[in-house]
Copies of this chain bind each other. A is one copy, B any other.
């Protein structure tokens, strides 16, 4: 008999297991593949590791501008892949160590949910006071003719590619598509992106999304408002906004049109769990319709971010422990690790208006920062845009484009979550010379 049974060892499940163990709970963690889930094994970590290699490549090429000369700069895909594998294996071992340290029992196998308190793995039935479903999501492959060819890949397969393509077509201009577009294009691959909507990264502030797309342009060709109709061998056929039929030749096609929650064949329907194709329904404490059964992470359909999953797990754990908590969506930061990076937290201008706020915004280029200029040269694109409620002076959103912004955005989460007023933020001292200072400078423009 366990206190908590967690199905799925991604960033929702394994962090919850660790924290629950730390608090003295007897925890069973069930994982059918690898500790760390998609995020560690086929998602965030391998993409960031490869992007880091690409950044080293680009930085070495740009080094002469800063007084550093090199011989010919070359990218060795197999070595970059080997480093990626080493990073994954090191972190996976680290999670294993944390599970042991916090006395979490880990079982490898496919879980079958038998209803509250009962989960089966193989022939074994495990019992627990609370059950947490953290089964994640999988890439969605739309029913396009020709989508099932070996050179048509999802993010999972392309992460193990063994030869650089000369041309790549990315179907879907969301976070995953854009990160791969940035990776391959920075290494000299001709990259086309085909996106159904009128702009890339749909949840970005419109003005910043445009700036971001312009920064990628020249390296990546964008085909917005276009719909792929078929993949005929290496020919990707699509229809433009005006109804024109066009096509692109691509050695490799990346299918990155979205992810779907993992709901099948685990007994959810039989047990009477309330879910639809978007995910398992939960309340703000991550409770499902079944008593003592919680769902966290991608499988809820609420947010497909690793750190959202982690936070949902913490909320579920606090709820189980009788501590008041609530999963709030208003201050969840996000980042895209492309070149340049983009990141944001809180409302975009459009969202703030839609929510009924009287909105005031300000924006400054990152070249206002001496450090940004020193490190990125004069042409490095970048900006900060801030959004406040004009009546209350409360900060609603911070959005950034530029090298390194992924590590700065957490501070915006602190400010937004703490409901700080712009007046208060102006009194906070930011270190000089940093890029982050521009966030503060924009507060004086509001």
Q: Which residues of A contact B (CB under 8 A)?
A: 11, 19, 22, 39-40, 44-45, 48-49, 52-53, 56-57, 59-60, 62-83, 87, 90-91, 94, 305-308, 310-311, 314, 325, 331-335, 343, 368, 370-371, 373-375, 378, 404, 406-411, 413-415, 417-418, 420, 424-437, 439-440, 444
Contacts of A74 in B (CB 8 A): 68-70
Contacts of A373 in B (CB 8 A): 87, 90-91
Are A90 and B378 within 8 A (Cβ)?
yes
Contacts of A73 in B (CB 8 A): 63, 68-71
Quick one: given A44-B370, A65-B83, A91-B373, are A432 and B11 in contact (CB under 8 Å)?
A: yes
Partner of A40, one of B90, B370, B417: B370
Quick one: given A410-B411, A433-B45, are A67 and B76 in contact (CB under 8 Å)?
A: yes
Taken together as a complex, chains A and B put the C-alpha atoms of A409 and B91 apart, in Å, by 25
Are A307 and B71 within 8 A (Cβ)?
no
Are A432 and B307 within 8 A (Cβ)?
yes
Are B444 and A428 within 8 A (Cβ)?
no
A442 CB, min distance to chain B CBs, angstroms: 13
Contacts of A434 in B (CB 8 A): 335, 406-407, 410
Partner of A331, one of B60, B94, B311, B428: B428
- Copies of the chain in the assembly: 2
Are A374 and B68 within 8 A (Cβ)?
no
Sample (8) of A-B pairs whose CB atoms are under 8 Å apart = A22-B444, A39-B433, A71-B72, A404-B407, A408-B411, A410-B437, A414-B425, A417-B428
Contacts of A311 in B (CB 8 A): 429
Partner of A49, one of B308, B374, B432: B374
Q: Looking at A44, A48, A67, A308, which has the most chain B CB atoms within 10 Å of its CB?
A: A67
Q: Looking at A53, A415, A426, A432, which has the most chain B CB atoms within 10 Å of its CB?
A: A432
Quick one: given A60-B59, A432-B306, are A70 and B67 in contact (CB under 8 Å)?
A: no
Are A429 and B68 within 8 A (Cβ)?
no
Contacts of A333 in B (CB 8 A): 429-431
